[in-house]
Structure 1
Amino acid sequence: MNPVPPQREYFLDSIRAWLMLLGIPFHISLIYSGHTWHVNSAEPSWWLTLFNDFVHAFRMQVFFVISGYFSYMLFLRYPLKRWWKVRVERVGIPMLTAIPLLTLPQFIMLQYVKGKADSWHTLSAYDKYNALAWELISHLWFLLVLVVLTTLSMWVFTKIKKRLDAAENAWITHISMPKLTLIFFLLGVGYAVVRRTILILYPPILSDGLFNFIVMQTLFYVPFFMLGALAFISPNLKALFTTPSRGCTIAAGLAFAVYLVNQHYGNGDAWMYETEYVITMVMGLWMVNVVFSLGHRLLNFQSARVTYFVNASLFIYLVHHPLTLFFGAYITPHISSNLLGFLCGLVFVIGIALILYEIHLRVPLLKFLFSGKPPVKRDKNDAVAN
């Protein structure tokens, strides 16, 4: 284990927390958007649809860059097996906890909301399995992807470290945003080719929940995860993202405009999804600069209030989804205004999530299950001194 702790990255902690918490207005806006979801309002709102599309186009790409950054930081701190155990516990235990406590009740509720409970017995064994795969993993998919990425990184990070020890990664210090843009554009095209090839050879597999989460989502986000690890290794690459770039801001805005055009005029039976992946791959890269530079300038400080939400962000994210669906199914129909409904949804979900967070902090078992962190054992001498 490395005895020297790295300098605290307050702005990255804050960005990661706010990206997590951004899932709340994202999913509430999905109720009022023009996109078909589990529950929808009577009339869609164009501005909430726009907000939803914008958040969807970049949020998780930036999140996985930060995850890769902190994963490599911890990789240097722990022995390999210990690192894997710590990382998988931190994301795997909350995911496994949330399935029976959150997404299973959510699934049962939706069966009755959609009127499908009585027809469940008519489904084939595979259809039941696949429905459960989609619905029980649900909004926990990124935790499953992090488990897969962590496992793959045991080999990848070891290779990277060996190359660094051999001074073979000097190219990282000379990388530029245009070069990165070309690389991520080609990665987006490559992902689109893989998806189209699968669609031609065996299209049903793309509808399989576990295949989608474990294979397709991992393939899309692995470049961002590795980019985060490289940003930790190279101060110059990190500076490329923390230094404001007018070009990245303009390019991200243009990419979002193209994204909207593709959403509006694209055809799902044609190349709409492949085009979307290419757009969001490069837009995600540019938004890393936009978000990191803003965060570095505005959020790079220690604050008790910010620390509270950093610590609470995962728990709030885990519980917000069933709360959002409950709000959409049973409260949204009674609110005629989309704006009022959206604001009420924020108050309802965040308020109850914070209450549940405070309750779980007072129950050691729940605190462990929703964080993956074992209780800290205090030395008896320290306890007496305190």
Structure 2
Amino acid sequence: MYKITIIAGARPNFMKIAPIVHAIEKAKQENVAIDYRLVHTGQHYDKNMSGSFFEQLEIPEPHINLECRGGSQAEQTADIMINFEKELMGHPADLVLVVGDVTSTMACALVAQKLNTKVAHVEGGIRSDDWSMPEEINRLVTDSITNYFFTTSETANTNLRQSGVKDDQIFFVGNTMIDTLLKQRPKFKQPKVWNQLGLTTGNYIVMTLHRPANVDEESQLKDMINEIVKNTKDLPLIFPVHPRTAKIFERLKISHSRLHTVDPLSYLEFNYLVENAKAVITDSGGITEEASVMRIPCLTLRDNTERPETIALGTNELVGTNPKQLKHYLDLLFSGQWKKGQDIPLWDGKTAIRIIDHLKRMTTPMV
């Protein structure tokens, strides 16, 4: 039996691993000698991650939650490593599979290698080249000790080759986040705010902001919000507020008749809003991927991106963190000149199947 331990540390990680779990379950039904153990490190506490969250994704709840919450970057990394070491020693595996770029990704990869367990990284090779982002450090460290890389783009493949990774370690498979998006798309759910505000398709804008460069400095956040309000004509602005942003936003006392702050939404509700929006204004990497696949114009308030394919092929544009740059892009949007976007290679809903096909051919299983 080939045993895989799958790591998830935050809610977006579960969207990425859900199709992999589905593909493993299907392989088991076909009598493939493969099994998995799903470990939630507990890195991010999310009140929306109830039993219904796992039911929506059609995956079982994790076999264990290590409950490694809070603290500084170093404290959290240490806590995850200590607890995951006990977990992996108690439940040995042939392979530890990590996804994305959260602290859990890096910490669990380190533990696995120190216990002589091979590591596979889903979304390996993506780079922002911005070392001020904790996620970029997590990517660099994880990829430096990874055995197998499951990549989302040719750009990621090139990044890995340039760092010395051999071709037989790189598997270009696509994007598991898009597997989940395409599977769940028919089930998108209208949130309460839709009727409360009388929203209609194509006649509102969705916003999300949480990165330190945009929200940690109060004047920056205030200027950004004011520019968005000033240049979005008469459209309602729907702003699900990240807990990190909520505290700062509260102090600023920003209010406008078209700006509607709402609590964080479920996956199905949030993507219903995105799919029906005129555009999305965000600083989230994952949302740029989803918006591109759904062909919704996306304005990214960052100075760099680790997902260049969403710009080269998708509907995303890198606006930057200077609020004054927003007007140009919003003028393009309202004049009907936004690019249409096109299919991104292998972002087709079959990524997890390709991953499992590769795993089937890997190392000799444990006895």
| Bigger CA radius of gyration | 1
| Greater strand proportion | 2
TM-score for the superposition, normalised by structure 1: 0.22
Bigger relative CO (Cα 8 Å, ≥ 6 apart): 1
Q: TM-score, normalised by structure 2?
A: 0.23
